Structure 1
Amino acid sequence: MTQFWIYAVLLLLVALLLLLWPVLRGRKDQAEEDRTALNIALYEEHIAELEAQHANGALSAEQLAEGRIEADRELLDDTDVGRPKQSANLGNVLPLIAALLVPVVGLGLYFHWGASDKVALTLSLAEQPKTVEEMIQRLEDTVRVQPESVDAWYFLARTYMSEQKPKEAAQAYERTIELVGRQPDLLGQWAQALYFANNNQWSADLQALVDEALQQDPNEATSLGLLGIAAFEEGRFQAAIDAWTQLSKGLDPEDPSYQAIQTGIERARSSLPNSQPPAASGIPESKTSAVEPANVGEYQLFIEIALSEELVGKVAATDTVFVFARAESGPPMPLAAKRLTVAELPARIALTDADSLLPQLQLSSIGRLKLQASISSTGDAMQAQWSSQPLLVDVTEEGAKHALLIDQKN
């Protein structure tokens, strides 16, 4: 903004110079007019003197004519007869008043119709934001200066959600929809923000938004995920299973969120009356800490899981313990996993090829594996609160024992 105001002041000085120039120029013209008038008066006096001498007989007619010619020549030398004289007298007061009013009126008009806020915004956007708060402030400034900017409203809503501000996000999503129309993905994200802003309480208005989004796109991910969450929280486990199953059909199995959806489906199934969660639907649950005997020749990966003394009393006995085996370099989703509870710790389990979540990738076919155990109070493996250090193991070391100590806060 400093550079902008410097240029504005320079332009103002030019305008003042143009207004004051007639006053300054007028003084010079007045001096020239006074000098010309004096020369003419002297000329007339000289001619009168010559005529008087001619009348007294002191000068002949030829001498009078020569005297007139000489006087004319002197007058021409002393007077600029080539420049046309223009009389345009504006006076001295009017230009001075105009010069004083120009900066005052110009500044007032600029603040009324100008765009200093847009200039400031453009200059601020030239630099990368250093913090999330600074980025939010810039987006808020952008939508204030440019209220029709769809991208700014949308990114502001996404940023609000990432910063756990669902109420503000809902307002930003609503404005985005007003600008671009009721698109299914925007309707789903708007409903999600309203749901969290309303303390996870479902309502008829939210149901209407989700229904509208799914009517346009039956596979709209945010709406399906939200339906599953709301149904699960209300104890409608079959509805949650249906919504999440539909959602998982549109996800790549290697997508990190795919396993989280499968875990949610398993939890919903295990919560159904008189039902047992099928092992193929998610992470198999270990019912005992003892290692069951494997078939002869079957690959086994022995793992001992323990809880650090510092965590005793900080976790509940019913909290879920997940044990994952991932490829050292490969898809981020687990190749094999088992589930226990804190009450079963310390425990010793064995992972085999039968535990592989991806049939095409068996444990014994992977050179090096990364083992890790975690604890989640919600039963959601993606939101674990405690975990162990990742442990790299070589699958060729069959029969070796590996220990995982859960002692780190996520």
Structure 2
Amino acid sequence: MTDFWLYSALLILAGMLVIVWPMWKLRSRSKADRTALNVALYEERVAELANQLAAGEVSAEQHDSALEEAGKLLLEDTARAEDQRQPLHRGRAWPLLLSAGALPLVVIALYLSWGNPAGVQLAREMANNPVPEDLDGYIDRMERITEIQPENGEAWYMLGRAYLSDQRPQESADAFSASLQRLGERPEVLAQLAQARFFANGNKLDTDSVAALDRALELNPHEPTALGLLGIAAFESGEYAGAINYWERLLAGMPPGSEGARAIQGGIERARQRVQEAGATANGVEAPAAQQLQINVRVELADELAAEFGDDAVVFVSARDPQGPPMPLLAQRLGKGELPTEVVLDASDALMPGVQLQQGQALQLSARISTSSDVMQASHAAEAIDITVSEEQEQPTVLRIDRAL
């Protein structure tokens, strides 16, 4: 900031010179013009007297007397002008000097009031050090940004995430609330706000947090934080089918084989185990047969398409009600490298809590392949096949992915 204030001082000095110098020159010119005028009048009078003497209009004594009188008048006018000028000069110089002296004070006061010195300092710091060295430095920077730009919703959002990483959930929730007020209802902000409240409340979801998560999923059904948090809450409350539903949807949007995907898959397996334990026996009585129904599916990829997709391509196998909405009832996610393979669809693959397979139920099976983790971006699919759920399925239903969407 030293160079900034130095340049500012030079600009203020230049402004003072712009004001003082023209006025000072004007006063000097005024003094010179008054003296020149008196001399010019005297010379004109001398020339007039010489002409009158030559024309015989005045005698030599009259000429000398008038010339002497003109000289006295010149001296008197000059002295009178000097007497009038000096007090005037002293009286007007002080306001001029005071104004020039007050100029830098006024400029500095206005800049401190209307300017943004802290913003200048922060901008220079960010230019010299774009990435803070540690989390504490990052938090300090984001706090300063929110002080300088309190209406910057993105800065509040980043500050909330930093607080959450620093295990300060309550401050994180406050920051996300400030971001939500400025950015409006954005799914990622709603989900992060609910997560911060979840941790601040001893790993429990309150009513406001649940409402925020529901709204986040309304805006973005694939919002990962909301799906993961609702899955945790469902698992903790014993709603294992609901946990599987949320985590399956979350897993569908994660890179295959990633550390996060493996963790979610482990959670799904634990939830399925809890479902099987709860359904296998209830006080020593076997579960109803309807809960044991399943669908065997063989998924294949046409040879001519295999080369078009890398090993990270994702395959989605699903079953839906042909007379109902397009959303699947059951779904599984596979990797392209697993094909051809046989999979089993049952109640543990339900996308919504409470979905069970029923004897004689009509379903439509389909399979799609996508280069990304988004099923909506799938480029090829198998021809949909209508089936009827039965306890005795002799052969698996074959879904061959061979046509473009």
Name the TM-score, length of structure 2 as normaliser: 0.54
Q: How far apart are the structure 2 equivalents of 1:38 and 1:243? A: 103
The one-letter amino acid of 1:97's match is L
Map 1:7-406 to 2 at 5 A. 7-22=7-22, 24-26=24-26, 28-29=28-29, 32-33=32-33, 35-36=35-36, 39=39, 43=43, 91-127=92-128, 128=130, 129-271=132-274, 274=277, 360=337
- Aligned partner of residue 91 in structure 1, secondary structure: helix
Distance change >3 Å, CA 226–CA 103, structure 1 → 2 = same
The one-letter amino acid of 2:109's match is G
Give the CA deviation at 1:33: 4.6
RMSD: 4.1
- Aligned partner of residue 254 in structure 1, secondary structure: coil
User: Does the CA-based 8 Å contact 1:19-1:98 persist in structure 2?
Assistant: no
Name the TM-score, length of structure 1 as normaliser: 0.53
Give the CA deviation at 1:110: 1.6
Q: How far apart are the structure 2 equivalents of 1:180 and 1:60? A: 99
Identity of aligned residues (%): 35
Distance change >3 Å, CA 203–CA 56, structure 1 → 2 = closer
Q: How far apart are the structure 2 equivalents of 1:100 and 1:57? A: 62
User: Does the CA-based 8 Å contact 2:12-2:104 persist in structure 1?
Assistant: yes
The one-letter amino acid of 1:106's match is V
Give the CA deviation at 1:185: 2.7
Q: How far apart are the structure 2 equivalents of 1:124 and 1:230? A: 42
User: Does the CA-based 8 Å contact 1:270-1:276 persist in structure 2?
Assistant: no
User: Does the CA-based 8 Å contact 1:269-1:275 persist in structure 2?
Assistant: no
Give the CA deviation at 1:126: 0.7
The one-letter amino acid of 1:173's match is F
- Aligned partner of residue 148 in structure 1, secondary structure: coil
Give the CA deviation at 1:12: 0.7
Higher helix share: 2
The one-letter amino acid of 1:109's match is L
Q: How far apart are the structure 2 equivalents of 1:146 and 1:56? A: 90
- Aligned partner of residue 161 in structure 2, secondary structure: helix
Q: How far apart are the structure 1 equivalents of 2:217 and 2:59? A: 125
Q: How far apart are the structure 2 equivalents of 1:118 and 1:46? A: 73
User: Does the CA-based 8 Å contact 1:23-1:92 persist in structure 2?
Assistant: no
The one-letter amino acid of 1:139's match is M
- Aligned partner of residue 24 in structure 1, secondary structure: helix
The one-letter amino acid of 1:147's match is P
- Between 30-39 and 99-108, report the one with greater CA deviation: 30-39
User: Does the CA-based 8 Å contact 2:247-2:264 persist in structure 1?
Assistant: yes
Q: How far apart are the structure 2 equivalents of 1:233 and 1:119? A: 49
Moved over 6 A (4+): 51-56
Distance change >3 Å, CA 21–CA 252, structure 1 → 2 = closer
Q: How far apart are the structure 1 equivalents of 2:230 and 2:164? A: 18
Q: How far apart are the structure 2 equivalents of 1:57 and 1:249? A: 127
What 5-or-longer segments of structure 2 have no aligned partner? 72-87, 281-310, 313-333, 339-405
Q: How far apart are the structure 2 equivalents of 1:60 and 1:203? A: 118
- Aligned partner of residue 266 in structure 2, secondary structure: helix
Q: How far apart are the structure 2 equivalents of 1:249 and 1:236? A: 20
Structure 1 residues 171-201: Cα deviation after superposition (integer angstroms, max 9, x where no partner) = 2222222233212232212211111122212
Give the structure 2 partner of residue 367 of structure 1. none
Give the CA deviation at 1:103: 1.6
User: Does the CA-based 8 Å contact 2:19-2:100 persist in structure 1?
Assistant: yes
Q: How far apart are the structure 2 equivalents of 1:34 and 1:181? A: 73
Give the CA deviation at 1:37: 6.2
What 5-or-longer segments of structure 1 have no aligned partner? 62-66, 72-87, 278-329, 332-356, 362-410
